[in-house]
């Protein structure tokens, strides 16, 4: 964002991005919410601590930005041994509570170890593709750079929003390695481990409106979302 202000504290329609997400979480029947904080966390914690529902939240610290799987790992000690956990992004403000309820419903109905929220895009370039099996479960997520010609034709993409069965998540995340160009631990590798090593089912459901899964990574994207809300 080229700003000293943490990204999730930038405002959309005069409300910080993180508050959009936490307000959505507040509409769900969730027993505990862990917010993973890292760089410039003092400002984030101070802002969230001013919320009237601060008692619903706890914080986990990611000292080094070592990837999405590492961020989730920081939160796990604060979560119950059993149950299901949503993994949400703090910079995806328009995700709806009803969509998350649909995600959890499919997760339970299919007895999945993990369920992925996806979107079907006209131009999926750059996104990880969802490759489905004959039974409609997820076979794998293929990153754009690794996709075959046929896989590049797939328009269903990974949004980065998930629900996991906690016991299976704990086992799989312990096996994630950082032997990649960025030396980071990726949450998508958990999906691969659950499917390939544990032979667990991975389900997926698509959003009806792709704006729900749009993340904010620049002031340009923030302005585009402001425009969308004005016209909506």
What is the per-residue pLDDT for 142? Answer: 93
**137: nearest Cα among 58, 90, 74, 194:** 194
pLDDT at 150: 96
Angle at 189 between CA 183 and CA 191, to 5 degrees: 165
At 170-207, the pLDDT tens digits run: 999 999 999 988 899 999 999 999 999 999 999 999 99
- Position 111 confidence tier, pLDDT thresholds 50, 70, 90: very high
| DSSP-derived secondary structure letter, 50 | T
Q: Is pLDDT above 90 for 11? A: yes
User: What is the percent of the chain where pLDDT is above 90?
Assistant: 95
Alpha carbon distance 103, 136 (integer Å): 15
Q: What confidence score (pLDDT) does residue 181 get? A: 84
* Other beta carbons within 10 Å of 198: 13
| pLDDT, tens digit (0-9, with 9 covering 90-100), for 47-80 | 999 999 999 999 999 999 999 999 999 999 999 9
**232 pLDDT higher than 90:** no
- Multiple choice CATH, 7-231, 3.40.50.1000, 3.40.50.300, 3.90.550.10, 1.20.1050.90: 3.90.550.10
Q: How confident is the model at residue 39 (pLDDT cuts 50, 70, 90)?
A: confident
Q: Where are the domains of the chain?
A: 7-231
Predicted confidence (pLDDT) per residue in 119-172, tens digit: 999 999 999 999 999 999 999 999 898 899 999 999 999 999 999 999 999 999
Residue 153: its pLDDT value, please? 96
Nearest to 190 by CA among 77, 60, 73: 73
- pTM > 0.85: yes or no: yes
> What's the confidence (pLDDT) of residue 44?
97
What is the spatial distance between Cα 177 and Cα 4, in angstroms, rounded to a whole number?
Answer: 32
């Amino acid at each position: 964002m080229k700003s000293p202000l943490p990204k999730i504290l930038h405002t959309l329609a005069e409300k910080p991005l993180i508050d959009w997400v936490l307000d959505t979480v507040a509409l769900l029947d969730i027993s505990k919410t862990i917010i993973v904080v890292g760089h410039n966390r003092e400002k984030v914690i101070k802002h969230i601590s001013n919320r009237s529902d601060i008692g619903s939240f706890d914080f986990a610290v990611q000292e080094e930005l070592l990837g999405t799987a590492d961020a989730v790992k920081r939160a796990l000690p604060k979560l119950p041994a059993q149950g299901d956990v949503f993994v949400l992004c703090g910079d995806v403000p328009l995700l709806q509570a009803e969509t998350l309820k649909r995600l959890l419903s499919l997760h339970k109905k299919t007895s999945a170890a993990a369920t992925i929220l996806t979107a079907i895009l006209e131009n999926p370039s750059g996104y990880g593709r969802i490759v489905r099996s004959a039974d409609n479960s997820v076979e794998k997520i293929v990153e754009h750079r690794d996709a075959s010609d046929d896989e590049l034709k797939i328009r269903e993409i990974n949004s980065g929003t998930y629900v996991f069965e906690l016991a299976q998540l704990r086992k799989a995340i312990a096996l994630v390695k950082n032997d990649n160009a960025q030396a980071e631990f990726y949450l998508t590798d958990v999906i691969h481990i659950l499917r390939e090593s544990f032979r667990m089912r991975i389900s997926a459901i698509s959003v009806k409106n792709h704006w729900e899964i749009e993340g904010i990574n620049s002031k340009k994207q923030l302005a585009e979302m402001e425009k969308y809300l004005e016209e909506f």
